[in-house]
Structure 1
Amino acid sequence: MSTSTDDTPSDNLPSTDGPLLGAADIRSIAEALGVRPTKQRGQNFVIDGNTVRRIVRAADVTAADVVVEVGPGLGSLTLGLLEVADRVTAIEIDPLLAQHLPTTVAARMPARADRFALVLGDAMEVTELPGPPPTALVANLPYNVAVPVLLHMLEHFPTIERTLVMVQSEVADRLAAGPGNKVYGVPSVKANWYAEVKRAGAIGRNVFWPAPNVDSGLVSLVRRDPPETTATRQEVFAVVDAAFAQRRKTLRAALAGWAGSPAAAEEALTTAGIDYRLRGETLTVEQFARIAEAKPTAGTAAQPAAE
């Protein structure tokens, strides 16, 4: 995916052409529907066509792609994706928005309307999509559910090769952080299980309506094979969760509950070739996988020892 770091949003609002929605279009549709964006669902609609096309370019969407979009809202990004992709399937939780979106697509892009599908539901509960399997995920994710939605989609739709999500800037930093970074944590490690992750730019506040109180960031994820390990993903993620639940403690202490005791945790770490005095924030996903492989089995764990 592209790695543009241009963080200067367009200031010419509305800045749209063709079928894309501008600021006046968004407000007109919202008024007609009686839509009042809610913080609960993280509804901040993109009102700048230039920003939409920038996101589509950064996502490297091609005419061969089947794109899944989470949280299409009033359709700003949906239309931009339909301009380029072979097909777009949108998952929308809001019944009112979901009901109207096909109308917007048909009115603004009638020649492509048959290449659009809509799923009404919570993305966290969607495990099947209509039509061909998705090859790309592109979404403006609500800030409050961005990480769990992203991980759910990557888990349940392994055909997704490329992902570009727009999230709160702090969340983007966490997702793209590497070991040793102060914001490296559970989202960073779990995202790395599925993909190569990096920042792909910044988005200012004035391209949204209503304008959020925080800046946004683009995150690129390119699918890769998970680490080679005999442990399952669930087993590896259990180690990650335990290590970061007490991130200021050494791994020996943080993994005591997971292993059965501090001594058992030390034994597992030694078997995995990892210094038990380290903290979880210094480890790669591959190292977490080695620890998961070395977990003592029931009845063989070392006896508890005082810290």
Structure 2
Amino acid sequence: MDIKAIMKKYGIKADKRLGQHFLTDEDPIHAMLNAAGIHRKDCVLEIGPGLGVLTVKLCEKAGKVVAVEKGRNLIPVLKSTTRDFKNICIIEEDVLKLDLELLKEQYFNSDFKVVANLPYYITSPIVMKIVENRSMIKVAVVMVQKEVAHRLTALPGGKDYGILSIAVQLYADVDIVCEVGREAFIPPPKVDSAVVRILLRQEPRVMLEDEALFFKVVEAAFGERRKTIRNSLKGRLVFPGISLDKIDAALEQAGIDPTRRGETLSIKEFARLTAVLRH
């Protein structure tokens, strides 16, 4: 597909407000399709299809494709590039405002997969929406900023490990499929990209009695990354009955050295600490 020719034909200019960068290299597309394991029985949700480069490939392989595009100027282009397919539905909408349960009922007859080149400026909210709707999504294969990919896959102890890492890894297994240079896009973004595969889990990686409190503890621990876990919780953790004595006792009971930094704690350690703090 000649992206430059399509842009010229329809007078399309990338909208910086929507983080539009159009993929011209088909190698990452094939990598995404393979990682998602797309076959004829699959229902696929594509977010931010742009000019339809990935959309066409999805239509060739999947049973049903629903493409959600916020940019009104791109809808006529999408309809043109996919005109030969009967298994495509194009929706002009902000995916963050979409009720995915309703979308499933209206367009799919089963659970679905997500395959998308995500807009950079709303990557994290979309990824979290995918995780929150894990009951109906089998797998998501998405292209994101390389930096975000490293955060999604980060392990405890590294600079990339943080709240997003834990929030996603609690309910998913995440791996990097491939990296994509900025030269693969028109116009080139200021950063490189990467394709990640998110295999959703129906049950959390560790059982939690109180997920809301778990994330309060995680957020407090990462509130000031350079501080020890003790001092971070002391300054930022707020809930009825909390005190420094309770924090000290909980850290000791959970077997966590109070001088460690929050970024060194695993999901299991955060869960153990939360369980002790709760009682």
TM-score range, shorter chain: 0.7 to 0.9
**Aligned residue for 2:161?**
184
TM, length-normalised to structure 2: 0.87
Distance 1:29 1:252, change over 3 A: same
Q: Paired residue for 1:131?
A: 107
Partner Cα separation in structure 1 for residue 77 and residue 30 of structure 2: 22
In structure 1, the residue matched to 2:13 is 36
Match of 2:92 among 120, 129, 141: 120
- After the TM superposition, which residues 157-306 of structure 1 pair with which residues of structure 2 at under 5 Å, given as runs? 157-224=134-201, 225-256=203-234, 257-259=236-238, 260-296=242-278
1:141 corresponds in structure 2 to 118
1:203 Cα shift?
0.9
Take 2:252 and 2:89, find their aligned partners in 1: how far apart are those partners?
Answer: 51
Contact 2:46 / 2:55 at 8 angstroms: preserved in 1?
A: yes
- Structure (1 or 2) with the greater helix fraction: 2
Secondary structure of the corresponding residue to residue 207 of structure 2 = coil
Deviates more, 1:223-232 or 1:83-92: 223-232
Tell me if structure 2 keeps the 8 A contact 1:204–1:215: yes
- The amino acid of 1:124's aligned partner reads L
Give yes or no for contact 2:29–2:54 (8 Å, CA) kept in 1.
yes
Report the TM-score, using the length of structure 1 for normalisation. 0.80
C-alpha contact (below 8 Å) 1:227/1:289 kept by paired residues: no
Residues 203 and 272 of structure 1, relative CA distance in 2, 3 Å threshold: same
Work out the CA distance in 2 between the residues paired with 1:292 and 1:119: 42
Q: Tell me the residue number matched to 2:47.
A: 70
**Range with greater deviation from structure 2 (41-50 or 92-101):** 92-101
CA gap of 1:144–1:70, structure 2 versus 1, over 3 A, is same
CA contact (8 A) 1:165 1:218 kept: yes
Encode CA deviations 1:223-277: one digit per residue, 9 max, x unaligned.
Answer: 2221343434333222222211111111111122324443332233334343332
Alignment match of 2:65 (pick from 88, 94, 110): 88
Secondary structure of 1:114's partner?
Answer: coil
Classify 1:267/1:62 alpha carbon distance in 2 versus 1 (closer, same or farther; 3 Å).
Answer: farther
Alpha-carbon deviation of 1:40?
Answer: 2.2
Contact 1:127 1:157 in 2 (8 A): no
- Local SS of the residue matching 1:35: coil
> What is the CA–CA distance in structure 2 between the aligned matches of 1:292 and 1:152, rounded to whole Å?
24
Q: Tell me, which stretches of 5 or more residues in structure 2 are unaligned?
A: none
Task: Note closer, same or farther for the CA distance 1:30–1:263 as it changes in structure 2 (3 Å cut).
Answer: farther
| Sequence identity (%) | 36
Deviation at 1:157, TM superposition (A): 4.3
- Amino acid in structure 2 at the alignment position of 1:45: F
Change (3 A) 1:210 1:154: same
